[in-house]
């Protein structure tokens, strides 16, 4: 997918009213399914999943607050953020004083509409800008929420690309937010594009599993359904907030030194970035990293959750995310894949003194390259640290050279018979 195609996908998905269950999730997955083959699982309401229970399914058709003239002053059709997620059905007439406890605004951002939900406590409400609220009279107001909250199911989708090894790299993104472009649609678009690139690889060492599911309850449900196979997860990333203009931020796994932690921080090392230590707050990495599972799962965002003024507001629209930012996130992920795919351990077959590289044509093969000095240093580092105890990522970290340069050097040295892969 081109950067423009990723942005177009965000724009297409943006109007859909998503939540942790319901037809909005299924519509979203149907659009993703036009590009990726998805294995969709429906988990019925009431199913016990770890310490949680799959909730009732919520769907909504319309909602509004009409003033005495019949004008919709709050209108679900204008923006699905106007309704508190999971609002139960309601129909009645209210004064403004009666409505006020049900009306949510952002006084510090008076022109914006907030995003609010109430998944596990049955209630109802509306979100609107403070500017609109300040202009309302006493009413009375006709209020309608045309929704259903009933037994149904929770929907999870997976896209799997088999590799030579059963070990899995898992990319997880949430599909439960309504019209919020950066959180979560940019992550969905970048994940879809990454899956497309991986599918085009002639061979893959690892198996890649992409998870599209609602936040928190989705990850908990997936873990409950896959307890017997989570041991296959070698590397994992949650992907969100992938399209804003901020620099990339990586949140380490609970382990702190997992392979995915090292791979991402190495790739990010040559650009402005932030690395955060793990905390049990954020996106679904906290479910995968819960102590009973303790999976090697990090989190990749640009500006982190709650770190930008547009977060969880109507300002997080398609204009807030850029094709260039999503392309940059995708490029970093692709380089991380390169590290995960290329990570090997080699043994120097000529370890006594430095072998003569010139007579083997290794120095000559570098002539005319713009990175000749770097390539030469990479060969020397690979030879010196290929003692069976240091992997290519170890060498890249120690030498402060790009992993790609170290891997290329190792392949050249292996072809020349100076090193061999072990393990």
Binding residues for Zn(2+): 177, 183, 312
| Ramachandran angles phi, psi of 377, nearest 5° | -65, -40
Burial class (CB in 10 A: 0-12, 13-18, 19+), 47: middle
Output the CA torsion sign for 166, 171, 172, 173: negative
| Beta strands 207-213 and 168-174, pairing class | parallel
Nearest CA among 188, 195, 299, 181 for reference residue 245 = 181
Annotated binding residues: 177, 183, 312
Peptide bond into 140 cis (omega under 30): yes
Tokens at 387, concatenated: 């003692």
What is the Cα–Cα distance from 357 to 382, expressed in whole angstroms? 13
Number of C-beta neighbours around residue 421 at 10 A: 13
Q: For residue 156, how far is the Cα from the chain centroid?
A: 15
β partners of residue 131: none
């Amino acid at each position: 997918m081109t950067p423009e195609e990723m942005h177009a996908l965000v724009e297409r998905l943006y109007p859909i009213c998503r939540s942790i269950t319901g037809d909005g999730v299924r519509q979203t997955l149907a659009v993703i399914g036009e590009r990726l083959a998805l294995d969709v699982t429906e988990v019925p309401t009431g199913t016990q999943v770890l310490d949680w229970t799959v909730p009732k399914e919520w769907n909504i058709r319309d909602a509004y607050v009409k003033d005495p003239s019949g004008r919709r002053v709050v209108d679900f059709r204008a923006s699905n953020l106007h309704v508190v997620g999971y609002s139960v059905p309601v129909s009645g007439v209210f004064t403004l004083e009666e409505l006020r406890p049900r009306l949510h605004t952002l006084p510090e951002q008076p022109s914006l509409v907030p995003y609010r939900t109430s998944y596990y406590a049955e209630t109802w409400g509306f979100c609107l800008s403070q500017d609109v609220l300040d202009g309302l009279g006493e009413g009375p107001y006709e209020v309608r929420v045309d929704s259903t909250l009933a037994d149904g199911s929770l929907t999870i989708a997976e896209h799997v690309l088999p590799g030579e090894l059963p070990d899995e790299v898992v990319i997880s993104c949430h599909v439960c937010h309504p019209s919020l472009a950066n959180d979560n649609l940019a992550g969905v678009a970048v994940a879809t594009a990454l899956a497309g690139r991986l599918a085009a690889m002639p061979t893959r060492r690892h198996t890649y599993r992409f998870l599209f599911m609602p936040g928190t309850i989705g990850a908990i449900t997936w873990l409950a359904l896959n307890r017997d196979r989570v041991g296959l997860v070698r590397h994992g990333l949650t992907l969100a907030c992938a399209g804003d203009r901020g620099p990339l931020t990586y949140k380490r796994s609970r382990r702190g030194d997992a392979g995915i932690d090292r791979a991402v921080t190495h790739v990010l090392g040559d650009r402005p970035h932030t690395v955060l230590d793990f905390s049990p707050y954020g996106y679904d990495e906290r479910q995968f990293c819960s102590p009973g599972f303790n999976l090697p799962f990090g989190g990749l965002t640009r500006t982190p959750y709650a770190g930008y003024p547009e977060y969880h507001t109507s300002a997080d629209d398609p204009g807030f995310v850029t094709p260039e930012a999503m392309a940059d996130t995708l490029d970093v992920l692709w380089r991380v894949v390169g590290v995960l795919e290329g990570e090997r351990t080699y043994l120097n077959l000529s370890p006594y003194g430095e072998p003569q590289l010139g007579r083997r044509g290794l120095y000559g093969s570098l002539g005319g390259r713009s990175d000749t000095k770097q390539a030469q240093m990479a060969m020397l580092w690979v030879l010196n640290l290929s003692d069976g105890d240091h992997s290519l990522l170890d060498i890249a970290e120690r030498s402060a050279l790009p992993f790609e340069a170290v891997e290329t050097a190792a392949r050249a040295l292996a072809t020349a018979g100076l090193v061999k892969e072990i393990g």
